């Protein structure tokens, strides 16, 4: 058989499709053998691309970063905690180096 027929029987804006088409009860679309293979190849390509994305860059560049909802959790502010934070940001991890503007024209590029 060279052609296969797809029937679309359903509703459009709440009314059965047959009310629209009048003579035929359903909309029929003839699909040639070429069309069928084209659809199969297209579908296979889609699956291959999905697998390739999963195995390489992952979906995050497309979906965006994962995010948690913010909470209203707070921590007691103590001088000890402030000092520990200062130590981590300045001495431990070098956060300050990137997150503070420098005077790049002065020797040693001091923080502004
Ligand atoms: C090598 C330079 C560098 C260092 C060191 C660094 N950061 Fe960053 N940080 C960046 C840059 C660049 C961004 C902006 C990234 C972006 O927007 O994509 C950023 C962003 C952030 C943000 C904002 C994240 C957000 O979601 O907007 C926070 C908070 C932060 N850094 C905290 C820290 C802390 C805490 C440390 C030390 C543990 C630190 N950074 C060390 C370069 C640095």
Q: Is position 87 within any domain?
A: yes
Nearest-atom index, ligand 1, CA of 94: 5
- Domain of residue 95, residue span: 77-112
pLDDT tens digits, residue range 54-89? 999 999 999 999 999 999 999 999 999 999 999 999
Q: Provide the H-helix boundaries in the chain.
A: 17-21, 33-55, 60-63, 79-87, 95-99
54 and 91 share one domain: no
Q: Is position 71 within any domain?
A: no
> What number of helices (H) and strands (E) belong to the chain?
5, 4
Q: Is the CB of 39 under 6 A from ligand 1?
A: no
Question: How many domains are there within the chain?
Answer: 2
Task: Please name the residues in contact with 12: beta carbons below 8 A apart, sequence gap of 6 or more.
Answer: 20
Q: Is the CB of 92 under 6 A from ligand 1?
A: no
Three-state DSSP class for residue 104: coil
Among 95, 97, 101, residue to substitute to test ligand 1 (most atoms within 8 Å of Cβ): 95
47 and 87 share one domain: no
- Distance in angstroms (rounded) separating the CA atoms of residues 61 and 67: 14
**From the CA of 85, how far away is ligand 1's center (Å)?**
15
> Looking at the predicted structure, is the pLDDT value of residue 101 above 60?
yes
- Distance in angstroms (rounded) separating the CA atoms of residues 87 and 95: 10
Question: Do 42 and 22 contact (CB within 8 A), yes or no?
Answer: no
Q: Which residue has the higher pLDDT, 33 or 70?
A: 70
**From the CA of 107, how far away is ligand 1's center (Å)?**
25
Q: What is the pLDDT of residue 91?
A: 87
51 and 81 share one domain: no
């Amino acid at each position: 058989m060279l052609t296969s027929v797809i029937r679309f029987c359903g509703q459009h804006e709440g009314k059965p499709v047959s009310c629209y088409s009048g003579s035929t009860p359903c909309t029929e679309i003839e699909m040639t053998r070429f069309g069928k293979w084209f659809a199969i190849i297209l579908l296979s390509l889609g699956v291959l691309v999905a697998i390739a994305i999963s195995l390489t860059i992952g979906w995050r560049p497309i979906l965006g970063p994962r995010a948690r909802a913010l909470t209203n959790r707070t921590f007691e502010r103590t001088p000890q905690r402030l000092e520990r934070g200062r130590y981590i940001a300045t001495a431990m991890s070098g956060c300050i180096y990137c997150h503070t503007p420098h005077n790049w024209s002065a020797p040693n590029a001091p923080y502004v």
